[in-house]
Amino acid sequence: MEKQYILIGYGDVGRSIVSALEKAHVHFVVIDMNEAKLKDRGFDYYAGNGTDEEILIRAGLKKASTVIIVLNNDDDIIFSTLIARNINPQCIILARANTTKSIDKIYRAGADYVASLSIIAGQMLAHIAIGHQQDSILMLEGLEIGKHRITADSQLVGKSIADAGIRSSIGCTIIGIEENGKTTTDIDPSIILREGMTLAVIGNSEQISKFKKDYSV
């Protein structure tokens, strides 16, 4: 089968994947709703919904060797996986799960491998708990998971995740919290941030650096 890759979704994770595909000198096509993000990037693309069967076929799904799905909504990921598996039973499907509860559903839809950032965050926090004190882990080129311990004089103390506005102001996303030896990757925006919590945040290298600058004391 011709080696052709289709990437569905062009957010932070999608951009990191594009960088890796470009360095590997393989042929790939990107599908995303926001055409403004795709123009003049030097690669082939289709502006449209990654759950639209017609768009997927136009992008070359029938001949694709690998389909990578990194949409922001797990229901869309499941539906896109179902379509891809039905149209091209031979292709390899790699998908990102935004929540752990969706992992099994995405596998049942036909994915060959499902990656969960929340599970990765949990593994990182477990390493922190047993004494490995690295400040960040490089996940993909330009994409990192960093850690931050909330101190008593932190501006985050007493704020909910939603009110803290970390994602809107910096671009980082909290994907794990460790407190009193317990780790959670089920992140609700209403969670109140407290002294002593250790946060795992994901973003590109610039975002992680800005997060540390703004919130480290």
The pLDDT tens digits of the residues spanning 154-193 come to 999 999 999 998 888 888 888 788 888 887 877 888 999 9
Class of domain 4-111: alpha beta
Q: What is the pLDDT of residue 3?
A: 74
Cβ proximity of 77 and 65 under 8 Å: no
The pLDDT mean for the chain works out to 85
The more confidently predicted of residues 106 and 200 is 106
In the chain, where the domains are located:
4-111, 119-215
- Digit-coded pLDDT (tens) for 77-135: 999 999 999 999 999 999 989 888 899 999 999 999 888 776 666 666 665 555 555 55
Residue whose structure tokens are 């509860």: 101
The conformational region for residue 174 under phi > 0 = left, psi -120 to 50 = alpha, else beta, is: beta
Among 3-17, 27-41, 42-56, 176-190, the minimum mean pLDDT is found in 176-190
Rounded Cα distance, 184 and 199, in Å: 10
Cβ proximity of 77 and 9 under 8 Å: no
Q: Which residues contact 20 (CB under 8 A, 6 or more apart)?
A: 140, 141
Residue whose structure tokens are 């994770």: 13
Among 17-21, 44-48, 171-175, 190-194, the minimum mean pLDDT is found in 171-175
The more confidently predicted of residues 144 and 113 is 113
Cβ proximity of 105 and 74 under 8 Å: yes
Query: Would you tell me how many other CB atoms lie within 10 Å of the CB of residue 106?
Result: 24
HSE toward the beta carbon, residue 171, CA cutoff 13 A: 13
Q: What is the pLDDT of residue 36?
A: 92
Cβ proximity of 176 and 125 under 8 Å: yes
Q: What is the pLDDT of residue 105?
A: 94
Residue 64, φ and ψ in degrees, nearest 5: -70, 140
- Residue 12 parent element (H or E): helix 12-24
**In the CATH scheme, what architecture does the domain 119-215 have?**
2-Layer Sandwich (3.30)
Burial class (CB in 10 A: 0-12, 13-18, 19+), 108: exposed
